[in-house]
Structure 1
Amino acid sequence: MPSAPVNPTAHLEGASSGPFVRDHWSEVARMLRPPTVTPVADPPQTDCPHQRSGLKNWHDPATWGGAVPASGAKVTLPSNTDVLISSCSVDPNAIFNTITIPSGSSLIFADAPISLRTTGMIVTGSLLIGSPTCRLRNKVNITLHGSRTAQTLPTNEWVKGIYVTGTIDVHGALYTPTWTRLAKTAQINDTIIYIQDIVNWQPGQSLVITTTEWKDSRDWHRNEEKEIESVYLVSGNVAAIKLTTPLVYKHYGGTEYQAEVALLSRNIVIQGDEVNSEPADKYPEVCYDYVGDTNSTFPCENSYLTGFGGHVFITGYQTVGRFEGVELYRMGQTNQLARYPLHFHMVQTSQGPTQTLVSDCSVHRSFFRCYAIHGTNNVTLIQNTAYDAIAHCYFLEDGVEENNTFAYNFGAHVHPLGKYFEVSMGIGGQNFGSQGAAYYDDTPTLIHTSDLAAGVFYITNAYNTFIGNAASGGWTGFSFPNLPRPIKLHQNVTGFVPMNRPIKLFQGNSAHSTGYWWGSAAAIYVGGNLNEYVNPPHLRYTHGREVSRDTCLYSVPGGCPGYWQTSLLFQDTKVFLANRGMQDWGNREDVIRFEGHDLGLSANVFGSVWIDQMLLNCRSNNNITWWNGCPASPNKVPWGKCNSRDMAYFRGAVGFQFYDTSMRHIITNSIFRNCNKATFSQCVSCSFYSFELLTHSDQFLPDQMQATSNISYQNCDMNNLWHFTVGQTSWDSISGRLQNWLDNDGSAFQLVGTGSKTLLGSNRSNEWYKLNDKCVGTLDEMFICPLNPKDVVISITVHYDPAQEALIGSGYCGNGDKSNCTIVGSITHFGRSKGSGLKLGGNPKATGAMIYESGGWFVEILKGTPVNLKISNLMIPPSASALIAVPYPTGTTFSTLAVVAAPWCNKYQLCQVNLTAVSSVNEVRNGGGDLYYWDANGGILYFRMVQPPDEGNFKKFSRPWNRTEWSPASNFTRSGISLFYPTYGMSYQIVADCPGKSGLYCPYVNRPVPQALGCGTCGPSNDMNGNGNAATSMMGTQLVVLECLLVLVALVLF
């Protein structure tokens, strides 16, 4: 009996003294690791199947009734018999036809050198190669034979496979840990590498060292498979591995990040045969862009489509499948459904690791996937490795799989299928920098269309556990596709929306050398859309921005109710060497302890987002290969010679991008480092910014969407901390005029001192965002202003012409069409001169500070105030005194002055509240939003706008108001910072009868801007629930009277 593999005891003479990266150190994101195990030479072996009494020997003729099965024979074990295979039982060159193990019988392997060859196995009984308490130490090979061309596809499950409906237990020797990281950079021609763990890997075994380049693809990559000569101790937990041949490439192992090193070999091997498993269509392997006339390459789409390896298929009621220390080599059958190296298929009533377990296994050289979970829950995959696999690797198939655990696994060098490279060549109207992408249907050479964007981890349902995993390569590292409903065998499951499921746990994971093929591809990618159609049956997929997931505590069709809404939670995530660190097109995300290095953009995350404790290091000390292998001179800019996908890294980086509409981003306690082109030695016409504000649109416009706190910069270009995506030399976009940013403590702007709340606002709108004399103008198109305590940003839409506004986005006020949108009016702060305020565009949204000392906004339409004035899309925090002044001709009267609920308001509920006239501006200012003052002499109408308070007790009322119709003020709050949401239902509506009106408009009258109101007579409260007239104030009541009176009060006052 050989000894079990143990840790080395010898120290390496002349070993490097470091410095070393130790213990998987990471500055912000904690890289979680499995518990340390110290292997022993003679571990106890108990409950060993091969030591049971009553076993029948395979090589005994009596076992078979007189004749031992010969090569080529179909073999069926005798009923209710336990058959033992030992080292002398079978000829290692014999190839058996199908071996069937009937229910009640077992085929048991001895702990001895054994090689069994077969065309397949049917296991309704038990296949036992060790047990959980009896891990075998000898070399055992099971080789599965069969030729793709000799089969009628699809084949039966047992053809070149192990088909299990009973029990399969395979337990090989423990090699621990199964993967680690470099402790220092490994250079070209090195024969010794240093790693961060003591390992019991053995001479003659194979390992892989991952790439630390941007690109990882079959046509160009820098992963290396090597053979171990010996392993040594160095110091502490650092070990050294001597390789039999020198390294060909550099593998980075600096303090920022380190290449992974994974063991590929195990002592128990299940493999496809040597002759017929490999693809017959390997060549041509490298193709060149056929659009754009560049030197850029991609893997040829019509190659590597005929791999026909073995597979293991586990299915059935209470079926047991447990694997430890197993190597699966030359497995998987390309584009053959369900023919994966290790596949749990519709296993019912799984009880977790006692029934379905895959631990410390290895998949490499796979022709279709790695570890697949289909319609099965409670599977545990822990400390496994995977390398060089076609299509999604760790695979959750239909969108119904939940409560599975992926812990401390590793995957690398994963190959997409199909025409995934087309987007970077601009084929089919696609664009490398666009958000959208083409739809693709399945074909015989792409049977699962999402394999266009093959991920190392493919997660159709987020309600699973992912801790301590590492991904390298692939179209993305971790893919969360949007499935509006389950697919394939679960397409008839109703009332269940996979894409809305929350993450059970995602912590301590890393991804790198990925996100290369598209500008929005990322190391962590939440997006794309996968649907199944039934007539004819097919899958359709796009990797682009499509539907938005609505993360929900419970899966319900038709959208998630507010009280069930939750956020996707990512914790301790580390990403590097990718176009984007994280791209998430969802609705709600919390990202805690996020660390990114050498990215194009750290994160583009949609919805209501909190990012806390982020470290963004724009460039590390790792200099990657020029142009990612595109053969152009490194000494000149290769514009026109290489594709955008090859050049993105060398064009610079952005720390974080603030979007232009409908988002809520709060970033706290975060560091930006080395965002400075002066320190980037590979800079070629590049630019670096810590923050980027998206400002290209006249169709989609910002309200107050972003806030920061406790931001610091290290070696960043302090003159270029942020920029607009559309520069001053471009057209005057409305997004550019409205952009603003709340810095809760002044730390992000570094110009007016920390500790005070600060607002950054565009200087393209004259002095609209110059709030006071303490503001500082910058070269970056912004005013930076300290906020007084009662200054609040609000946003409204001032409607002027319904027919004209209906054209927005259709040739008028477009989404980045580079044509100026018509100016229709202006808004000026009280007490300031005309021309100093906001130019109101044809898309008439207005966002800006309501300066309390000024008092309000003066709104003018160039054609004259609309006869039917409507102001909607209100984003008004409760503390805002949002006073609006509108000019009208003398003699104007008003037939309607009201606050109106959403158009879908139920007629049996409260749908309109009429405003009440008062005699002064200050009464309106201190009122509750249902008052107006008509200055008949001055010709100016004043009213204060509010959103209803979200008291949280609206459910107590059978009437009078409905939350969805009135959109009470609600907010996204994290770390003491609140960003409010707009209402898309309620509005203020004023219908005027004005002398001389013509069509839609009253005559234009040139009224002076009202004087600033100051604070001397402001009254005791600025709150929307302040002390207005209790008999007439719509929101003034505090709703604290007895519940029996609440309905009556609300009916009268609301």
Structure 2
Amino acid sequence: FGKITFDVDERGEVGLLTRNIKIQASEDAAESFFGGHIMAMPSSKMYIAGVELTRMGQNLVLARYPVHWHLVGDAPGQYIKNAAIHDTYNRCVTVHGTNFLRIENNVTYNTVGHCFFLEDGIEHGNEYVRNLAIQTKCHTSKPCVPTNLAASGEHAQPRQGLAQAGQRAVSNGIADADVLLPSDNTVASFWITNPDNVYRDNVAAGSDANGFWLSLPEHPNGQFEGTEIARTVWPRRTPIREFKGNVAHSNYDGFMFDRNINQDNTFGVTGSSHIGLSNPADPNSQPVVAVFENLTSYKNRNGGIWGRGEMHVFRNVKLADNAIGYTHASGAGGRYDYTSQVVDSLFVGETENVGNPRTPEEKKYGRSLPKPMLPDFPIRGYEFYDYRHDVVNTTFVNYADNATREAGAISFLLYTSFGMSSNNAVEKVKFVNAKPVHFPRMELKWGNDISAGSWAYKTASFRDRDGSLGLGPNSYVLIHDGPNNSVAVDNEACQVKAKWNAAVCRGDIGRLSFIDGRGFAFGAVGRGASSGPRPEDLPPVKLSHKGRQFSIPVGTNVRAGTEIRVDTERTEMDLHVNELDAGSWVILQIAGFTKADSGTAVDSVEALRKATTTAYYKDKDALWVKLVSPGDDGRGAPGGGVRMKVSR
């Protein structure tokens, strides 16, 4: 493909693989995968320019890579430039215990294992500039056994939730003997273990798994594990030095910032969080915003961007032709001002680049599909997940339903059992030939987080700060798909958007839950970690409002100023209202209950309605409760909101 389409540059790269200076192993290396290697040892200096390297590296042998700086320490001025590294058997350029190198304008093709490889997480100050990595493979001749969050329907045996997905991956991929490191079965063109390095204008094209993968250990591992210097280095708290102008396309996941490695190099589908701090050694020091600029990620079979951490800003990113454009997970649940922001960016569902249709479904459709095994997979631009994310001054193009699959600009992670905040927000968003919102109905084959505890997606919602979606500033978009309709939606304040499986509502929206310790404290109703009974093992809670009834296992979206009747066979409940503005309230009439462990007792329903702080009243048939929000500064941080334990 050779053009800029919908303002996304999808022109194919051209990399010259021949050089006048050629270093190669004997021809039989193509059968044995035992090639040559170049290694700079401590105190040595290495400068490489204009060289072709082929049949290099020794498959499954540590420290035998085509080019390898090994424990050189600070090496300012040393470099590899304008080289071609192709048809090799064990990585491309390895930087191990070495700092301040320049890796520039190199091209790689048909290589095995993480290609541009930062080894132990102690390496810093290195500059990766204008490198092109094409066709990075997990193995010499067989497919990957990856650890990723693929849709369930992409597997012969559908997975059942994040925990089970991780266990399956450990048994089938991470523990394989035929990879050098466990992570090589989810290979990356750029493997990044310390954020204190420069990545500028690089291209990751055609990796079996990841294009760019930031996978950060708590402290440097490998050669440095347990050393005094390693104890002073905190990659997960180190600011991003520079990540700008990079391109990821034709991978499974384009940009991955998650699944951080353990000291033994194993990992899971979820990882510890990244937050840059002014003093990484001090967890209470001031946070530093991490900025990822001008990233283009397209034609990736799963996601354009997946991140995990706090105060990550993605500015002027262009995401196109992906199954999912963007998903970002939290790691601190409200401790910081925000988790992620996407600003001044562009999402395109489908461009003029039709790809290479191969399957019968693709040929009928007239273009390649990101998930050929799931031709009806709903493509979506931005997935809300966790807490707390903003999309600002961003345009969505070509997310329209058709006979093959549905689509939508804004959605949620399918079908998350972890938290989502109603304080997630959009502002100054535009839609061109795009359905603004799509909350897909439950289809097991589409989800990557499927378990009995998948409750959080049932309260999917986000705030429309400036009225971009048509119902005025500070309106909310709530899931409204039939099975997951909420008590917060009514005809007076909401417009139901049937094709979105959603409703757009005016008013202050927050969360009401009935089980303490489920999911994150910021309004989620996910299963979370709790020592209490499982929601599915408890009698349901039935809510009645304006003649409608809802059966709620864990919690629900709720509108400020609403009076709701509650019926249940439970003997006690932990009520929790949060993410409402300060002074906002809800009143619950809980049939058959008699006791409240907090609030002010009043002597009538009328007095309860006039109360300005949390209160309760007991009549002959029910306990009336008014829960008044103290506000949470838009965070919904742990401990926020108002709580009350009630019992019979």
Q: TM-score range by the shorter chain?
A: 0.7 to 0.9
Higher relative contact order at CA 8 Å, sep ≥6: structure 1 or structure 2? 2
2:477 maps to: 760
Kindly provide the amino acid, as one letter, of the partner of residue 328 in structure 1: L
Q: Supply the distance in 2 between the matched residues of 1:784 and 1:369 (Cα, whole angstroms).
A: 50
Give CA-to-partner distance per residue, 1:602-629, whole Å, 9 cap, x none.
12221222111232211122222223xx
Q: Supply the distance in 1 between the matched residues of 2:510 and 2:291 (Cα, whole angstroms).
A: 29
Any conservation in 1 of the 2:25–2:56 contact (CA below 8 Å)? no
Q: Are 2:249 and 1:509 equivalent residues in the alignment?
A: no
2:427 maps to: 709
1:946 maps to: 629
2:409 maps to: 690
Give CA-to-partner distance per residue, 1:510-551, whole Å, 9 cap, x none.
011111xxxxxx111123343344xxxxx4345xx2223232
Structure 1 residues 657-736: aligned runs within 5 Å: 657-659=383-385, 662-676=386-400, 678=402, 685-694=404-413, 696=415, 700=418, 702-716=420-434, 718=435, 721-726=437-442, 735=456
User: Which of 255, 260, 272 is the matching residue for 2:24?
Assistant: 272
TM-score, normalised to structure 2, is 0.80
Structure 1 residues 96-175: aligned runs within 5 Å: none
Kindly provide the amino acid, as one letter, of the partner of residue 689 in structure 1: G
Any conservation in 1 of the 2:99–2:124 contact (CA below 8 Å)? yes
Structure 1 residues 453-468: aligned runs within 5 Å: 453-468=186-201
1:540 maps to: 266
2:523 maps to: none
**Measured at CA, do residues 921 and 339 of structure 1 come closer, stay the same or move farther in structure 2, by a change above 3 Å?**
farther
1:590 maps to: 313
1:245 maps to: none
Deviation at 1:688, TM superposition (A): 2.5
Any conservation in 2 of the 1:924–1:944 contact (CA below 8 Å)? no
User: Which of 207, 211, 214 is the matching residue for 1:480?
Assistant: 214
Structure 1 residues 352-501: aligned runs within 5 Å: 352-353=76-77, 356-417=78-139, 420-421=144-145, 426=155, 436=166, 437-439=168-170, 440=173, 445-474=178-207, 475-492=209-226, 493-494=230-231, 496-501=233-238
Kindly provide the amino acid, as one letter, of the partner of residue 722 in structure 1: H
| Structure 1, unpaired ranges of 5+ | 1-18, 29-254, 281-305, 516-521, 534-538, 815-819, 899-914, 950-968, 972-979, 992-1000, 1003-1054
Any conservation in 2 of the 1:756–1:786 contact (CA below 8 Å)? no
**Measured at CA, do residues 658 and 774 of structure 1 come closer, stay the same or move farther in structure 2, by a change above 3 Å?**
same
User: Which of 754, 759, 770 is the matching residue for 2:489?
Assistant: 770
Q: CA RMSD in A?
A: 4.2
Give CA-to-partner distance per residue, 1:358-394, whole Å, 9 cap, x none.
2222222222211111011111212222222121111
Q: Supply the distance in 1 between the matched residues of 2:392 and 2:496 (Cα, whole angstroms).
A: 24
1:988 maps to: 643
Q: Supply the distance in 2 between the matched residues of 1:643 and 1:470 (Cα, whole angstroms).
A: 22
- Alignment partner of 1:715: what SS? strand
Q: Are 2:598 and 1:897 equivalent residues in the alignment?
A: yes
1:320 maps to: 45
Q: Are 2:463 and 1:746 equivalent residues in the alignment?
A: no
Kindly provide the amino acid, as one letter, of the partner of residue 217 in structure 2: L
Q: Supply the distance in 2 between the matched residues of 1:478 and 1:714 (Cα, whole angstroms).
A: 29
Q: Supply the distance in 2 between the matched residues of 1:762 and 1:556 (Cα, whole angstroms).
A: 40
Any conservation in 2 of the 1:798–1:846 contact (CA below 8 Å)? no
Any conservation in 2 of the 1:767–1:837 contact (CA below 8 Å)? no
Any conservation in 2 of the 1:726–1:736 contact (CA below 8 Å)? no
Q: Supply the distance in 2 between the matched residues of 1:477 and 1:375 (Cα, whole angstroms).
A: 23
Any conservation in 2 of the 1:507–1:572 contact (CA below 8 Å)? yes
Instruction: State the number of aligned residues.
Output: 606
2:512 maps to: 796
Any conservation in 2 of the 1:432–1:644 contact (CA below 8 Å)? no
Q: Supply the distance in 1 between the matched residues of 2:351 and 2:582 (Cα, whole angstroms).
A: 44
Q: Supply the distance in 1 between the matched residues of 2:398 and 2:370 (Cα, whole angstroms).
A: 23
Q: Supply the distance in 2 between the matched residues of 1:335 and 1:26 (Cα, whole angstroms).
A: 41
Kindly provide the amino acid, as one letter, of the partner of residue 711 in structure 1: V
Any conservation in 2 of the 1:513–1:578 contact (CA below 8 Å)? yes
Deviation at 1:331, TM superposition (A): 2.2
Kindly provide the amino acid, as one letter, of the partner of residue 264 in structure 1: L
Deviation at 1:669, TM superposition (A): 1.6
Kindly provide the amino acid, as one letter, of the partner of residue 824 in structure 1: V
Q: Are 2:63 and 1:338 equivalent residues in the alignment?
A: yes
Structure index of larger Rg:
1
Structure 1 residues 870-909: aligned runs within 5 Å: 870-872=574-576, 874-887=577-590, 896-897=597-598
Deviation at 1:793, TM superposition (A): 1.8
- Alignment partner of 2:184: what SS? helix
User: Which of 599, 605, 616 is the matching residue for 2:328?
Assistant: 605
Q: Supply the distance in 1 between the matched residues of 2:588 and 2:33 (Cα, whole angstroms).
A: 73
Any conservation in 1 of the 2:415–2:454 contact (CA below 8 Å)? yes
- Alignment partner of 2:34: what SS? coil
1:552 maps to: 276
Give CA-to-partner distance per residue, 1:621-664, whole Å, 9 cap, x none.
2222223xx6x686669xxxx999543567552222233xx332
- Alignment partner of 1:489: what SS? helix
Any conservation in 2 of the 1:482–1:529 contact (CA below 8 Å)? yes
Q: Supply the distance in 1 between the matched residues of 2:397 and 2:174 (Cα, whole angstroms).
A: 43
Q: Supply the distance in 1 between the matched residues of 2:605 and 2:532 (Cα, whole angstroms).
A: 43
Give CA-to-partner distance per residue, 1:902-937, whole Å, 9 cap, x none.
xxxxxxxxxxxxx5869996798674x4x5364769
Structure 1 residues 933-972: aligned runs within 5 Å: 934=617, 941-947=624-630, 969-971=632-634
**Measured at CA, do residues 727 and 451 of structure 1 come closer, stay the same or move farther in structure 2, by a change above 3 Å?**
closer
TM-score, normalised to structure 1, is 0.51
2:357 maps to: 626
Q: Supply the distance in 2 between the matched residues of 1:260 and 1:737 (Cα, whole angstroms).
A: 43
Q: Supply the distance in 2 between the matched residues of 1:708 and 1:367 (Cα, whole angstroms).
A: 46
Kindly provide the amino acid, as one letter, of the partner of residue 552 in structure 2: L
**Measured at CA, do residues 821 and 746 of structure 1 come closer, stay the same or move farther in structure 2, by a change above 3 Å?**
farther
**Measured at CA, do residues 672 and 918 of structure 1 come closer, stay the same or move farther in structure 2, by a change above 3 Å?**
same
Any conservation in 2 of the 1:432–1:645 contact (CA below 8 Å)? no
**Measured at CA, do residues 449 and 926 of structure 1 come closer, stay the same or move farther in structure 2, by a change above 3 Å?**
same
Any conservation in 1 of the 2:186–2:210 contact (CA below 8 Å)? yes
Give CA-to-partner distance per residue, 1:404-429, whole Å, 9 cap, x none.
11112111111112762477884787
- Alignment partner of 1:626: what SS? coil
User: Which of 510, 531, 548 is the matching residue for 1:836?
Assistant: 548
**Measured at CA, do residues 691 and 809 of structure 1 come closer, stay the same or move farther in structure 2, by a change above 3 Å?**
farther
Kindly provide the amino acid, as one letter, of the partner of residue 462 in structure 2: W
Kindly provide the amino acid, as one letter, of the partner of residue 341 in structure 1: P
